[in-house]
């Protein structure tokens, strides 16, 4: 992959990759690292892509995998859980101030978050998400349903507060 191709990919897909990484790992710093790893992998790989959509699906898949790797890593298991971090005012997500919606989303279970993000923001169909995540469509549907229900409850609670 050439530098110009990399720049094009970053320009078109970086936000999506960062978004899905954020949804998966919950931490902006980790999401930033993961996004960089994903594009580094793109630069080094010899995969040929049939279309922009194919490339994007590949990038998103890599981002989710990298996030999973991170969450399973030894370091991460012994690091401070986000629940306690989110209570601190120094939480980067809170610090951004302007966007209070994402922290609410982070309370949805991990598997459901990525599916919700891919479906509602990236506007992927259930079938596409199933292919990206390598899971069955019934599993995607189940996660969508559960995720929506969790999110609705969280938003209702937020309104009450």
**Interacting residue ranges for other proteins, rule: CB under 8 A:** 3, 6-7, 10-11, 14-15, 18-19, 22, 28, 32, 35-36, 39-41, 43-44, 47, 58, 61-62, 65-69, 71-72, 92, 96, 98-99, 101-102, 105, 111, 116-117, 119-121, 125-127, 133-139, 142-143, 148, 151-152, 155
Shortest separation between residue 84's beta carbon and other proteins, angstroms: 18
Helix or strand holding residue 59 (H, E): helix 52-72
Shortest separation between residue 85's beta carbon and other proteins, angstroms: 16
> Buried b / exposed e across 40-62, counting CB within 10 Å, b at 16+?
ebbeeeeeebeeeeebbbbbbbb
Look at residues 76, 1, 5, 3 and name the one whose alpha carbon lies nearest to residue 34: 76
Which CB atom, from 47 or from 88, has the smaller least distance to other proteins?
Answer: 47
Report how far residue 13's alpha carbon sits from residue 24's, in angstroms, rounded to the nearest whole number: 17
């Amino acid at each position: 992959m050439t530098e110009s191709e990399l720049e094009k990919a970053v320009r078109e897909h970086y936000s999506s990759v960062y978004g899905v990484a954020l949804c998966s790992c919950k931490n902006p710093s980790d999401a930033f690292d993961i996004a960089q790893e994903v594009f580094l992998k793109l630069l080094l790989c010899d995969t040929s892509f049939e279309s922009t959509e194919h490339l994007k699906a590949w990038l998103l898949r890599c981002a989710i995998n990298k996030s999973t790797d991170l969450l399973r890593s030894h370091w991460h298991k012994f690091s401070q859980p986000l629940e306690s971090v989110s209570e601190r005012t120094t939480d980067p997500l809170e610090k951004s101030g302007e966007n209070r919606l994402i922290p609410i989303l982070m309370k949805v279970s991990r598997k459901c978050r990525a599916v919700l993000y891919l479906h509602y923001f990236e506007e992927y169909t259930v079938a596409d998400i199933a292919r990206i995540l390598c899971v069955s469509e019934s599993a995607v549907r189940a996660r969508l349903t559960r995720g929506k229900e969790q999110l609705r409850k969280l938003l209702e609670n937020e309104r009450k507060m």
